[in-house]
């Protein structure tokens, strides 16, 4: 049977990426042009600068992806592109480019949900992984716990009610002087620190609130999940600790704060995940998204799943953070189902899962 080749394009935030994926599972190339150096100057992603940089880089990144895969545009069966959620100007660069290629080459265009892409990263290195499984997607913009019922079909069990886990990592990293992007820097600094040095609250959503206490609209309409997350209290407690130290002249150990904060996030992510996994008698649990690259989280999750006899899947760090291979994989499964996007495909910054 003829191979199916998909060009994946990703530009939702600060990475311009392109990848050629064969038959939905084999990554022939994975080119990522990161804008980290540019945004580091400002301590975070500047949307306008991100869009301009994507425009500057996208053609070169696609050319390299084709070259590395040893194919040309004429060999492609379809183009998959992230169309949301993300920064609108950044998304538009990828979407416009994908439309232009699909139009010029008269091949199908498949718009991909960024979070679906993250989940699909797990298919790359686990050839036998197939739905159903449970997945925790932990990134800079999202923290979701979902049941993957089929390719591209999800049931959301829980989500963050405030900050995403990655966002909390980035804010705490900035406050302790580690800079941007915070996650990998906290991960590294924490290796030298004591995770019990600073007493931090565990994000605690009581069962009463979990079941919906009637305080908020989401609680009343039942959309507030039993497995929701919360990270803003933990972030504030860390910042308060730092302020108190500054006022009292107490020396702060970057490594101890990093390790203590990271441990609290990991505890919340693992506890919530395992509660859901037990309730649903999950046989396979996967993690995805930038924070899934965190070494302490991977260790803790592996141990927690191991204890319960649950198979644990996680992508290599390069497929955890934003990349286009995961978009090519997700697009493949839509493509073989006959799903196509029209020429009116637009960037949707707050696209829901
Ligand atoms: O998935 P991603 O690349 O972009 C979004 O879709 O948001 O995730 C980026 C997030 C950032 O907040 C970054 O600090 C975090 O992932 N991150 C990490 C690690 N590597 C990236 N967080 C903790 N530990 C890491 N090793
Ligand atoms: Zn992402």
Pocket test for ligand 1, best of 118, 169, 300, 325 (most atoms within 8 A of CB): 169
Q: Is residue 353 part of a domain?
A: no
| Ligand 1 pocket residue status of 321, Cβ below 6 Å | yes
| Cβ(66)–Cβ(73) below 8 Å | yes
CB atoms within 10 A of CB 110: 27
158 and 284, same domain (yes or no): yes
One DSSP character per residue, 244-255 reads: HHHHHT----HH
Give percent above pLDDT 70 in the chain: 94
* The pLDDT of residue 214: 43
Question: Ligand 1 centroid to 106 CA: how many Å?
Answer: 36
R_g over Cα of the chain? 20
Q: Give the residue among 334, 301, 344, 329 at the shortest CA–CA distance from 126.
A: 329
| Ligand 1 pocket residue status of 24, Cβ below 6 Å | no
67 and 137, same domain (yes or no): no
* The pLDDT of residue 206: 54
245 and 264, same domain (yes or no): yes
* The pLDDT of residue 36: 87
Judged against a pLDDT cut of 80, whether residue 48 lies above it is answered with yes
- Two tokens, residue 351: 């696209």
Q: What are the C-alpha distances in Å from 8 to residues 13, 24, 107, 198, 331?
A: 15, 11, 13, 43, 8
CATH number of the domain encompassing residue 259: 3.30.420.40
| Ligand 1 pocket residue status of 288, Cβ below 6 Å | no
d(CA 108, CA 342): 9
pLDDT tens for 261-307 read: 999 999 999 999 999 999 999 999 999 999 999 999 999 999 999 99
* The pLDDT of residue 215: 45
* The pLDDT of residue 250: 93
Closest residue (by CA) to atom 21 of ligand 1?
290
109 and 170, same domain (yes or no): no
Q: Is 138 annotated as a binding residue?
A: yes
Q: Is the ipTM of this complex over 0.95?
A: yes
Q: Starting at the edge strand that comes first in sequence, how are the strands of the sheet with 26-34 ordered?
A: 26-34, 15-22, 5-10, 78-84, 109-113
Judged against a pLDDT cut of 70, whether residue 140 lies above it is answered with yes
- Nearest ligand 1 atom to the CA of 164 is 12
Q: Is 336 annotated as a binding residue?
A: no
Judged against a pLDDT cut of 50, whether residue 213 lies above it is answered with no
Query: In terms of residue numbers, what domain contains 219?
Result: 131-315
- Give 131's contacts (C-beta < 8 A, 6+ positions apart): 148, 149, 150, 151, 153
Band (220; pLDDT cuts 50, 70, 90): very low
One DSSP character per residue, 261-285 reads: HHHHHHHHHHHHHHHHHHHTT-SEE
Q: Is residue 347 part of a domain?
A: no
Judged against a pLDDT cut of 80, whether residue 316 lies above it is answered with yes
Q: Is 128 annotated as a binding residue?
A: no
Pocket test for ligand 1, best of 47, 291, 301, 318 (most atoms within 8 A of CB): 291
268 and 331, same domain (yes or no): no
d(CA 33, CA 54): 9
Give percent above pLDDT 90 in the chain: 88
Better pLDDT: 144 or 213: 144
CB atoms within 10 A of CB 53: 22
- Two tokens, residue 260: 């203590």
* The pLDDT of residue 224: 62
- Two tokens, residue 245: 């130290």
pLDDT tens for 156-193 read: 999 999 999 999 999 999 999 998 889 999 999 999 99
* The pLDDT of residue 244: 96
| Ligand 1 pocket residue status of 184, Cβ below 6 Å | yes
d(CA 88, CA 125): 31
């Amino acid at each position: 049977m003829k191979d199916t080749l998909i060009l994946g394009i990703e530009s939702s935030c600060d990475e311009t990426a392109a990848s050629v994926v064969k038959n939905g599972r084999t990554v022939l190339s994975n080119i990522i042009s990161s804008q980290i150096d540019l945004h580091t100057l400002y301590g975070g992603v500047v949307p306008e600068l991100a869009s301009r940089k994507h425009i500057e880089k996208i053609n070169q990144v696609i050319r390299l992806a084709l070259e590395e895969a040893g194919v040309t545009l004429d060999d492609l069966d379809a183009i998959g592109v992230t169309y949301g959620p993300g920064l609108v100007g950044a998304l538009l660069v990828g979407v416009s480019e994908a439309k232009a290629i699909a139009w010029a080459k008269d091949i199908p265009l498949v718009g991909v949900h960024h979070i679906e892409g993250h989940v699909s990263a797990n298919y790359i290195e686990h050839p036998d992984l197939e739905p159903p499984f449970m997945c925790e997607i932990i990134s800079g913009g999202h923290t979701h716990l979902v049941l993957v019922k089929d390719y591209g079909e999800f049931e959301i069990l829980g989500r963050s009610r405030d900050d995403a886990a990655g966002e909390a990592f980035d804010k705490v990293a900035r406050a302790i002087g580690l800079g941007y992007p915070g996650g990998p820097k906290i991960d590294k600094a924490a290796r030298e620190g004591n995770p019990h040095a600073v007493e931090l609250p565990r994000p605690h959503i009581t069962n009463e609130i979990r079941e919906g206490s009637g305080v908020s609209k989401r609680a009343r309409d039942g959309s507030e999940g039993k497995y929701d997350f919360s990270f803003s209290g933990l972030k504030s407690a860390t910042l308060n600790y730092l302020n108190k130290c500054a006022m009292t002249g107490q020396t702060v150990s970057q490594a101890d704060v990093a390790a203590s904060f990271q441990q609290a996030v990991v505890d919340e992510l693992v506890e919530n995940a395992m509660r859901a996994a037990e309730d649903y008698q999950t046989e396979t649990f996967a993690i995805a998204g930038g924070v899934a690259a965190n070494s302490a989280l991977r260790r803790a999750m592996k141990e927690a799943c191991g204890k319960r006899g649950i198979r644990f899947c996680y992508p290599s760090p390069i497929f955890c953070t934003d990349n286009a291979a995961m978009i090519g994989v997700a697009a493949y499964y839509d493509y073989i189902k006959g799903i196509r996007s029209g020429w009116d495909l637009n960037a949707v910054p707050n696209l829901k899962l």
